[in-house]
Amino acid sequence: MRQEINLISDTITRPTPGMLEAMMQAEVGDDVFGADPTAQRLQEKIANLFGMESALFFPSGTMANQTAIKLHTQPGEQMICDKWAHVYNYEGGGASFNSGVSCKLVDGHRGMFTAEQVEASINPPHDYHQAQTRLVAVENTTNKGGGACWSFDELKRIEKVCRKHGLGYHLDGARLFNALVEKGEDPKIYGKVFDTISVCLSKGLGTPVGSVLLSDEKTFRRAIRIRKLFGGAMRQVGYLAAAGIYALDNHVDRLSEDHRRARLLGQTLESCSYVNKVEPIDTNIVIFNLEDDVDEAAFLKAMSDKNILMITMGQGKLRLVTHLDFTDDMLEVVLKELKELEKEQLQPELK
Ligand SMILES: *Cc1c(COP(=O)(O)O)cnc(C)c1O
């Protein structure tokens, strides 16, 4: 059988030979004692990239986000985020479990919202019946929003609202590098606007493990303590940090290739008789719907019979994610298989 083509997520990548080599060569120490030189090098490198004072390595993006929420809030307070936000939907209810905060959900567009919507979501600070609003969290690119990129101007307008009302401002930048590359933006503009930024090294950048949380020095000191109590302080973590350094040096610019391949997948899907709608494609995520009279399970099976894997997101949405291990040759195979599939094959009553 042909090699598996996995478009389930950009997290399924394996370290490249060059990355593995960098990991094997890493100089390490006990990072719980602050003695791992490679972890420190990674943290300094990414902090400099964003023009921020500090960065802290985490085992997952979830823990980095949850630490940020804890840093900005006290139990009983409220955080504003989009109804599709990862911090609300996909972190196991962590905001309430770890920090005792509730979420005020904004009804955004593709996971993004406006400064006016933020302003309207803030509870009056002197009304003690209502939870005190303390934090705004945004996501760039948006995951459930199909890899959409924010307008930086809107992010700046939201910053103004946060400053005016004394709210913390957190960016879940799990796929921030996809947005930076796609829009040709300088990471430093983000460093100026946000109090905290989480970035995943294990998505488009292709490391096996790792995220970082960027902040100022004072916040970093508190973040280390929270990371410890969440169980995220690790020992010879330099082996993983070395993968992160390698990824920042070698895997950032190439993200534009993932975006190009995603757009080609989208164009072909548009022309398929069994596809109803393809969402706009900004970066490396393709979300599409099948025609009403097409059986989703039959489509997924037809694809997996060809060894092409993808996932359903519910509500009739299917998702493809391009990544480091998805080559042009694989793209050709997927495009060919999509084109060859006929709507009639996917209508259960005709089988
Ligand atoms: C993947 C992801 C995270 C973090 O997930 P982990 O699996 O914990 O690394 C956070 N936010 C968004 C938007 C993501 O896509």
Q: Are 155 and 176 in contact (CB under 8 A)?
A: no
Residue from 57, 81, 86, 207 to probe ligand 1 pocket by mutation (most atoms less than 8 Å from CB): 86
**What is the structure's pLDDT at 300?**
95
Residue closest via CA to ligand 1's atom 2 equals 174
Q: Are 194 and 139 in contact (CB under 8 A)?
A: no
Q: Measure 65 CA to ligand 1 centroid, in angstroms.
A: 9
Q: Measure 238 CA to ligand 1 centroid, in angstroms.
A: 21
Q: 226 is written with which tokens?
A: 């929270």
Residue from 143, 150, 240, 313 to probe ligand 1 pocket by mutation (most atoms less than 8 Å from CB): 143
CA distance 14 to 325: 8
**What is the structure's pLDDT at 343?**
82
Q: Measure 211 CA to ligand 1 centroid, in angstroms.
A: 9
Residue from 13, 63, 150, 172 to probe ligand 1 pocket by mutation (most atoms less than 8 Å from CB): 172
Pocket of ligand 1 (CB under 6 A): 60-62, 65, 86, 139, 143, 172, 174, 200, 211
Sheet holding 196-200, edge to edge: 54-58, 211-215, 196-200, 168-173, 133-139, 78-82, 102-106
- Name all domains of the chain by residue range, CATH numbers in brackets: 17-250 (3.40.640.10), 254-350 (3.90.1150.10)
Listed as ranges, residues in the chain with pLDDT below 70 are 1, 348-351
Residue closest via CA to ligand 1's atom 9 equals 61
By three-state DSSP, how is residue 2 classified?
A: coil
Query: What atom in ligand 1 is closest to the CA of residue 91?
Result: 8
Residue closest via CA to ligand 1's atom 4 equals 61
**What is the structure's pLDDT at 1?**
65
Q: Which residue has the tokens 């489509």?
A: 299
**Which tens digits make up the pLDDT trace of 176-212?**
999 999 999 999 999 999 999 999 999 999 999 999 9
**What is the structure's pLDDT at 134?**
98
Q: Are 192 and 182 in contact (CB under 8 A)?
A: no
**What is the structure's pLDDT at 211?**
98
DSSP for 27-83 reads ----GGGT--HHHHHHHHHHHHHHT-SEEEEES-HHHHHHHHHHHH--TT-EEEEET
Q: Which residue has the tokens 């099948």?
A: 290
- Amino acid letter, 256: S
pTM over 0.95, yes/no: yes
